[in-house]
Structures are given as C-alpha cells and as structure tokens.
Amino acid sequence: MKAADALNLAEERLAEAGVDTPRADAEFLVAHVLGTSRSGVHAARDRELPDEFGALLERRRNREPLAYVLGEWGFRRLVLKTDPRALVPRPETEVVVERCLALLRGEPGPRVLDLGTGSGAIALSIADERPDVRATAVDAAPGAVALARENAERLELDVEIREGDLDVAAEGWDLVVSNPPYVSPDEWDSLQPEIREWEPRDALVGEGLHEEIARLASTRLIVFEVGDGQADHVADALASLGYADITITPDLTGEDRVVDGRR
C-alpha cells in the first residue's frame, strides 16, 4: 500500500477506535515505518509501506500510547526510549525542566536529584542542557530504573541512576525535582484507555507525595510538577514547611503546573 492510501486508511481506523488525534497519529506511524519525520510524510506519499505498518496500526487501534508503539518519544532536545516500564514523558514536564534550569542559572556544579525519574526524562534533560550538573535519578520501580539507564547510555549522558525510595531526598542536594504520582484513586476510571490500560499505575496514582518529599528533603531548592487544581495546596504546604520564594508556573495550556521554592 502506498503511503498516501495508508494515511487515509489509518486515520479512519484510528478515529473509529476513539483515538483523539487520528490524523496526527497516522502521520507519526507512517513517518516511523518510512524512517522519515512527520513533516517528511507528504513528500513520501507515493512510497510503498513495509508490512510492519499493519501491526503498528493495530497496536494503536488497541489504544496503546503512540509513544510505546513507536518505542521512542521526543522530550525537549532528547529522543527517549519509551515502553510500558515507565510513564510516557509529557510536554508539561518540559516546563518543570525549564524551571529547574532557571533556578540553577549561575550556580556552578550543583547536585540535583530527580526523584521518581521514570524514563529519566527530567534528569537526562538537565544533564544535557547543563553538563556541569551532578545529576542523580532515583525510582522505586526496577523497570523504570532499567529504562532510565538504557536512555542514559543511548544518549551518552552522565547521570547516576539508582533504585530507591523517597528518603533519598534527605541525602543533601542543591535541588530536588520531582514529578511524583499525583492522580487520586477516584480519578482512575475517568482516565483515557491509553493511560489506564497501558501506563504503570504506580507511576500515576498517589496522594500527598509532594508534601512528604518536601518534608523529608534536605535541599536549597525544590521543584514539583503538580496535577490540575493542586498548585495552591502544594504552595501552601511548602510555605508551612519553611520554604520561601514560592513560585507557581503554568504549562503551555495555561494550567498551573509547576510549584517551586527555596530554603
């Protein structure tokens, strides 16, 4: 089948399956099997697609996240390996990294902890964009630790990656950053199948972890990603724990997404 026909067929099939962005996903899948970029798909309209395309389309029709089907996903300047061992890195988390970089500006060789690193997205981006940072990435899930290590190796980025729990925050850092699980168990059933049926539940569901990390942490700077409607509560918790200069930053959709402070 030619790429142009496959695009139309895939768009139709994905729309039938309830995928939110069927045309964009069809373009990503076609681009992937042709070894081109999404913007290169138009120029490749007459090329024949390899058989592999059918299997990938079927996976996406089963509402497997596009990032798992493709096996990689862009995050800031990096392309990260992605699979069900860890959460798909989200665009809003890029703002978390932006905030860390802003807070670390002018600080030579800071020690940074990314707590709950998942694929390694935050720690690896900081290491990429601030090579003098001494970054450590920790996760409680052995699969996530393995994936983060694979990403560090592929990208040749120097980050210490280890399995561990929240108490690592107490080891003494210049900056602790975390995007902890923050979805309440009540919300679970309302999530998209891509999340509910494919992403690791332990990476998503959690309550009170921002406060717990902030209480445990021995750090000058702390940066959190928060869920919709959680920013004011987390900011108040930071204030009551003695943090100052508390700042709330919105993501690109305008939702308050990052809360940070210092002490």
Ligand X SMILES: C[S@@+](CC[C@H](N)C(=O)[O-])C[C@H]1O[C@@H](n2cnc3c(N)ncnc32)[C@H](O)[C@@H]1O
Residue ranges that bind ligand X, judged by CB under 6 A: 86-87, 89, 93, 115-119, 121-122, 138-141, 144, 165-166, 179-181, 202-203
* Least distance (Å) between residue 144 CB and ligand X: 4
Collapse the DSSP code of 209 into the 3-class scheme (helix H, G, I; strand E, B; otherwise coil) and give the result: helix
* Least distance (Å) between residue 201 CB and ligand X: 10
Q: In sequence order, which residues have a C-beta less than 8 Å from that of residue 127 and are 6 or more positions away?
A: 133, 135, 157, 158, 159
Pairing of strands 111-115, 173-178: parallel
* Least distance (Å) between residue 116 CB and ligand X: 2
Collapse the DSSP code of 219 into the 3-class scheme (helix H, G, I; strand E, B; otherwise coil) and give the result: strand
* Closer residue to ligand X in complex, CB, 34/237: 237
Beta sheet of 159-163, edge-to-edge order: 159-163, 134-139, 111-115, 173-178, 219-225, 256-262, 244-250
Please report how the helices 142-155 and 121-129 are oriented relative to each other, as an axis angle in degrees rounded to 10.
20
* Closer residue to ligand X in complex, CB, 49/213: 213
Calculate ∠ Cα 197-201-205, nearest 5°: 130
Rounded CA Rg of the chain: 20
* Least distance (Å) between residue 108 CB and ligand X: 25
* Closer residue to ligand X in complex, CB, 117/136: 117
* Least distance (Å) between residue 39 CB and ligand X: 25
Tokens (6 digits) for 50 = 């390899």
* Closer residue to ligand X in complex, CB, 90/111: 90
Collapse the DSSP code of 173 into the 3-class scheme (helix H, G, I; strand E, B; otherwise coil) and give the result: strand
* Closer residue to ligand X in complex, CB, 65/89: 89
* Closer residue to ligand X in complex, CB, 139/260: 139
* Least distance (Å) between residue 208 CB and ligand X: 11
Contact at 8 Å (CB) between 234 and 226?
Answer: yes
Which residues are bridge partners to 177 per DSSP?
114, 223
* Closer residue to ligand X in complex, CB, 60/76: 76
* Least distance (Å) between residue 159 CB and ligand X: 12
